[in-house]
Structure 1
Amino acid sequence: LPSKIRRSFYLNISFQINKYAFSGGRDTVEEHRKYGGNCDVDISYQFLRYFMEDDDELESIRQRYANGELLTGELKAIAIKEVQRVMTELQNRRKEVTDEVVKSFTVPRKLKYDY
């Protein structure tokens, strides 16, 4: 993709998450620091559950958010970075798919039933 489109794509991810991802955070920073956030309803955290590969890091983020150490904006920033990483990886893998690869998956062949 041209760099202008790529920048727009990443800005769109950032905009969508910041604007529309429901937060499990509290109404004020003070309340959030005191009571912590709710990871069960926080969409940014749910994105991380699906996309983050490091389970220890995910658990650390969950604990810090639930304890009020990590604010909603900080959690969203982590989620944005992770979604952008996954999308970049997906785009790079798509570049590797050639007509021959597609053809190899769509050629008619006899199915094996071993049950």
Structure 2
Amino acid sequence: MCFRQCPQFYHNMMRIQRSVTYNQIKGIFGFGDSDHIGKIAFPAVQAAPSFSSSFPVLFGGRADLPCLIPCAIDQDPYFRMTRDVAPRLGYQKPALLHSSFFPALQGAMTKMSASDPNSSIFVTDTAKQIKTKINKHAFSGGRDTVEEHRRLGGDCSVDISYQYLTFFLEDDARLEKVRADYSSGELLTGFLKKELIELLQKLMAEQQERRKAVTDEVLKHFMTPRPMLS
């Protein structure tokens, strides 16, 4: 359905597939001989939106518009491949803006999952759910005992509550004080979690109120393809 509505997207996808060999894909992504063809073909699908000509309705058929792609580091191989292919297709190379991963509550080495409601904070969570999740599941950089924590301080590099504050707390001076106090042992884990809980409860409540104002008409207007260039 998507390809019938936007044949130029499909055309670019096919051009990209013709420009990348199987050996190149194996070298970039580590695919083996037993991987199915869907995995091998998908990088071209990921690459096609990098070019404005893939969306003639939005950009009036222009093929010369540059593309900036914000992405996490795990997406980098797709767009390094795209940058290599772009000149051969007559297009500009897309530029990348590497973003930080948002860690799961259980720690930086774990992943958020929709099947695990305790792996993250959802925008639909109630104030009580937010408090429970952070208190029970947010990985702590604190020490085993209060005495040890006071002496050695907490580890902000692994503490999920602090990591979340770096995303949501806009007051840099306040964030630095939290970091310094926690690292020195003056601030305990419970107080750090309380700081995050109160901040997220306020943010989620505001977001949920705005979400209630979204009607079917607003959604239809937002989702309707329309020119983006005057």
TM-score by length of 2: 0.43
Structure 1 residue 106 corresponds to structure 2 residue 223: yes
The structure 1 residue matched to 2:195, chosen from 55, 75, 78, is 78
What residue number does 2:173 align with?
56
The structure 2 residue matched to 1:17, chosen from 134, 142, 152, is 134
Rounded Cα–Cα distance in structure 2 between residues aligned with 1:14 and 1:91: 16
Structure of higher RCO (CA pairs closer than 8 Å, 6+ residues apart) = 1
Rounded Cα–Cα distance in structure 2 between residues aligned with 1:75 and 1:31: 17
Q: Which of the two has greater strand per residue?
A: 2
Rounded Cα–Cα distance in structure 2 between residues aligned with 1:55 and 1:95: 31
The structure 2 residue matched to 1:27, chosen from 144, 164, 167, is 144
Q: Which amino acid aligns with 1:110?
A: P
Q: Which of the two has greater helix per residue?
A: 1
The DSSP-based 3-state class of the residue aligned with 2:192 is helix
The C-alpha deviation readout for 1:10-41, integer Å capped at 9, x for no partner, is 11111111111110001111111111000010
Question: Are 1:24 and 1:37, in contact at CA under 8 Å, matched by a contact in 2?
Answer: yes
Q: Which amino acid aligns with 1:13?
A: I
Gaps of 5+ in 1: 1-7
Q: Which amino acid aligns with 1:59?
A: E
Rounded Cα–Cα distance in structure 1 between residues aligned with 2:132 and 2:224: 41
The structure 1 residue matched to 2:205, chosen from 88, 93, 99, is 88
The structure 2 residue matched to 1:36, chosen from 135, 143, 153, is 153
The DSSP-based 3-state class of the residue aligned with 1:53 is coil
The C-alpha deviation readout for 1:29-63, integer Å capped at 9, x for no partner, is 11111110000100111111111111111111011
User: Residue 96 of structure 1: CA displacement?
Assistant: 2.3
The DSSP-based 3-state class of the residue aligned with 2:158 is coil
Report the RMSD for the aligned CA atoms in angstroms.
1.5
What residue number does 2:64 align with?
none
Rounded Cα–Cα distance in structure 1 between residues aligned with 2:184 and 2:205: 32
User: Residue 111 of structure 1: CA displacement?
Assistant: 5.1
Question: Are 1:49 and 1:58, in contact at CA under 8 Å, matched by a contact in 2?
Answer: yes
What residue number does 1:67 align with?
184
